[in-house]
Structure 1
C-alpha cells in the first residue's frame, strides 16, 4: 500500500517558499513558475528569454537542466513540505530535440520517495505539445526531519 499522501503544499505555498528561498529564480519578473502540484507530481514552467538561449536560437542545456531540477524539487516539496536543504545528488538528462524559444514546461513525477532519498523523472516539453524535448532523472537527498 502506498503511504504517499496528496500534496502537503499548494501552488501558492510552494511559490511563496521558493520566492523566499530562491529569489534569483522565482518571484515577480523571474523565469520559473509552479503551474501545478499533486500526488507525487508537479509541473513547472520556464519563461525562457534571451538569457536562456544559446547560439542557434534554442533554449540552452543548462537552462533545461535547471528547469528539470526545479521540477523534481517542487514535486518533492509537495510531498514532504518546505525542506530547504533537500539537495540534488544526481541528475542525468537526455536532450531529444531542439526546443523553440519561449515557454518550456517540466512535468515531474516522483518514482521513489523514501525517508532519505527521492528519485524523480521529468519530461520537458513546449506549450501545447506532448513531444518531449528532453528527459531527465534526478535523485534528491532528504535531510533528517524532526519527528512530528
Structure 2
C-alpha cells in the first residue's frame, strides 16, 4: 500500500486499459477509455456503438452495468495497485432515465477499502448529459 499522505493512483490509465483488454474479452466489444484516475476514483468513457442499443433506441442495461463494474474496478485498483484477481462480489444499479444514443461516462468513487473487501459507488451519465444510472458495488480483494 502507499505511504500515509501519498494519495497518487497506484495504476496508470494505460495499464488499466491493457489489463481489461487482456483479461476481460468483453471489453474488446465495449470500447472503454480511461479519462481520469485519482486516489480511489476513476472516470471511464464507454464509446457508443449501435450494438449497445435496445428497442426504443436506448442503451441497454447490461452495457450500463458493465460500465459501472469497469469503473469501480479501476477505482479500486487505484487504491490497491495492479491486482487482477480482485473480483466483483456485489453490484446493484438503479436506472434513472433512458440514456441517449451516445458515449456514456462512469464516475466511480471508492468509499472504503478493508483487508478483504472494497466498497464504492458509481454514477453513469450520457456524455455532456444528465445522470442516467446510479450503482453501488463491492470487490473481494485477493
Higher alpha-carbon deviation: 60-69 or 82-91 = 82-91
Question: Would you identify which runs of 4 or more consecutive aligned residues in structure 1 move more than 4 Å?
Answer: none
Q: 1:34 to 1:120 in 2, by over 3 A?
A: same
1:6 corresponds to 2:15: no
Q: 1:4 to 1:95 in 2, by over 3 A?
A: farther
Match of 1:53 in 2: 53
CA contact (8 A) 2:85 2:141 kept: yes
Matches within 5 A, 1:1-80: 5-26=7-28, 30-80=30-80
Q: CA deviation at 1:30?
A: 4.9
Hey, what's the Cα distance between the residues in 1 that align with 2:17 and 2:25?
A: 10
Q: 1:113 to 1:4 in 2, by over 3 A?
A: farther
Matches within 5 A, 1:112-131: 112-129=112-129, 131=130
Q: CA deviation at 1:9?
A: 0.8
In the alignment, structure 2 segments of 5+ residues that lack a partner are none
SS at structure 2 position matched to 1:77: helix
TM-score by length of 1: 0.87
TM-score by length of 2: 0.90
Match of 1:94 in 2: 94
Q: CA deviation at 1:33?
A: 1.5
- Equivalent residues, number: 139
SS at structure 1 position matched to 2:112: strand
Hey, what's the Cα distance between the residues in 2 that align with 1:8 and 1:23?
A: 24
The superposition leaves residues 69-94 of structure 1 with CA deviations (integer Å, 9 ceiling, x where unpaired) of 00000111111111111111111100
Match of 1:141 in 2: 140
Q: CA deviation at 1:41?
A: 0.3
RMSD: 1.7
Hey, what's the Cα distance between the residues in 1 that align with 2:54 and 2:76?
A: 30
